[in-house]
Chain A
């Protein structure tokens, strides 16, 4: 869980955004469009929200993630590598967010264990057979 590799979802967007920004300085529009529409519907919006609304929300999301990553990098540069803990440290003052983050990370670990156990079972069954 402390490894950057296990960081998973939190680390992925960070790496992706930083690489993209350095490479092209261009931001693709509509990266989160499909997912955001469903999420907005889940939070009470229309099942088919306006494209302008979706693009605005996407701008907000991307700006938020970019800002978080920059701050996390500032903190992590002293230590060296960027870790999941840096992001948790940044949201420490926001209890709902912090709780949600820890919950997602713990669920991620559990799923990983479950998958591992499932594969082991499969193997034992296969070998048994």
Chain B
């Protein structure tokens, strides 16, 4: 894999997209020798991401090449001798040359590039040109071995990285993408990633908070940062879902193998960028990103291709919608914009596409609400990292997944989308846990005439997602405390019962709660006995005087008797 990527990046770096393809052949001779040697040594993280996107980014990366060239050209490649060749790499999926270039580009004009460049810069360029999913997936396969050192970019990263150069808004996504590569790999420390990503994150702070936080997670150690972005995380996760869907399923699997809850979040932001490309119209990300990267979408893997075709009209629609939409949307920060756009897109899709499959699956969702937790718990162990985004993937078809609404939506939204993509997207569709339709059904169960505002629905969906996430996380820690590798119903039950004061009958198993006798000290018992005696002795005849004297005498007696009782326990 390294041979093809190096030639490509070198070729692309020199010439823009159209020229990249042509330039590739001449350069392969030049770059292969230098690139292969430095490639193994340089960031392993970069090669993997580069490998994934390279093929796809080749063709459509035309638009992306110029922006990518600029940042790359600025910082000279330190490790690799052919800087000019490397600079052109971003466009092409050259794994080896990219890593060095990426690192050297912190001062790039595009801050977002710097942070993700190290990890995903080459891949980003390549992702944009993602010619074929297979090629990209194949590329990352060999690269992961090389990139394993660095934890590099996941396959998913390239997908969105391609549009990163173009999109100016999703700066946050860039940061996330940069971070995501690190996460995709197993817990391998990414010193470079952290440095660059942190730098990039600092610059990219402004964009969506959630994405930033996720991006901050360049290193596994910083996973804690994800938590603050939890609230914003869900919206972004939704965005990510479509992108994650676009990401090759293999990446999902790799992520799934990792038992890192934050990694799931990380993939989210990275996926977000790819999400725009992916055909998940539901997510606003697509809308925001789709606008900016119509061309990049085509460059995504084959999976994304059909999505791209669909996305373009959606993106166009979305582009039209935001301006036409309420002016308040523009005022709202990008994250909110994306959410709204996503919602709009989702609604449009629902209207456009048949709702029959939706009804079928959504009807089952209320019934599954009870079983939902159990299913999720049992499956969450493997899906911890993926959280809500990826649980559907390993599960496979939507019917078995705990998120039938989301599955339904993704299926309905993109009938033309390739089935594997749809399957993966099902879980990652905008509505993780609760779809708007199922939410309305629940409301109708309470009050048939009740109607909720769209903002209220959004908040409720977000609350549901946060609830599930928090419960699942705590239950997993309980399972771990139990020294078990399996998340069981009793973990969820214990947490929900003690912290949320919710009794869930029907899942208790065969164990009866033992009665915990109230522990009373011996001294306390003795004091009580003395008091009783004194009260009985004084009785009715004694009055306040005796009663008061009784307890006093009893207390003095109890004090005297304290020594022996104290001594006995010690003995």
Contacts and interface: CB of A to CB of B under 8 A. Distances in A.
Contacts of A66: 512-513
A94 B295 CA distance: 68
B514 A22 contact: yes
Given A56-B506, A59-B506, A63-B503, A27 B511 contact: yes
A112 interface: no
A1 B520 CA distance: 30
A70 B512 CA distance: 12
B515 interface: yes
Interface string B507-519: 0101111111110
A21 B517 contact: no
Contacts of B518: 74, 77
B508 A63 contact: yes
B514 A25 contact: yes
A99 B505 CA distance: 26
Contact of A27 (B505, B506, B512): B512
B506 A26 contact: no
Contacts of B503: 63
B505 A59 contact: yes
A18 B505 CA distance: 19
B517 A73 contact: yes
Given A73-B517, A74-B518, A77-B518, A25 B512 contact: yes
A29 interface: yes
A70 to B, nearest CB: 5
A70 B513 contact: yes
A63 B497 CA distance: 12
A55 B520 CA distance: 38
Interface string B347-379: 000000000000000000000000000000000
A56 B505 CA distance: 7
Given A26-B510, A27-B510, A21 B515 contact: yes
A18 B515 contact: yes
B517 A17 contact: no
Given A73-B517, A74-B518, A77-B517, A17 B512 contact: yes
Contacts of A18: 515
Nearest to A22: B514
Contact of A26 (B505, B511, B517, B520): B511
Contacts, number: 44
Given A74-B518, A77-B518, A29 B510 contact: yes
A26 B509 CA distance: 9
Contacts of A56: 505-506
Nearest to B503: A63
A5 interface: no
Nearest to B508: A59
A69 B513 CA distance: 11
A21 B506 contact: no
A120 interface: no
B125 to A, nearest CB: 56
Given A56-B505, A59-B505, A60-B505, A73 B512 contact: no
Contacts of A67: 513
Contacts of A74: 518
A63 B505 CA distance: 8
A63 B508 CA distance: 9
Contacts of A55: 506
Interface in A23-48: 25-27, 29
Contacts of B514: 21-22, 25
A20 B515 CA distance: 11
Interface in B225-254: none
Contacts of B506: 55-56, 59-60
Contacts of B505: 56, 59-60, 63
B508 A26 contact: no
A17 B514 CA distance: 10
B512 A26 contact: yes
A34 to B, nearest CB: 19
A6 to B, nearest CB: 23
A66 B505 CA distance: 13
B512 A20 contact: yes
Nearest to B507: A59
Nearest to A57: B505
A102 B303 CA distance: 70
Contact of B515 (A27, A29, A63, A69): A69
Given A56-B506, A59-B505, A63-B503, A73 B515 contact: yes
Nearest to B513: A66
B529 to A, nearest CB: 11
Given A27-B510, A59-B506, 7 more contacts: A21-B515, A25-B512, A27-B511, A27-B512, A55-B506, A56-B506, A77-B520
10 contacts: A17-B512, A18-B515, A21-B513, A21-B514, A22-B515, A60-B505, A63-B508, A66-B512, A66-B513, A77-B517
Return the 5 tightest CB-CB contacts between A and B, nearest first: A21-B512, A59-B505, A60-B505, A56-B506, A27-B512
Interface of A: 17-18, 20-22, 25-27, 29, 55-56, 59-60, 62-63, 66-67, 69-70, 73-74, 77
Interface of B: 503, 505-506, 508, 510-518, 520
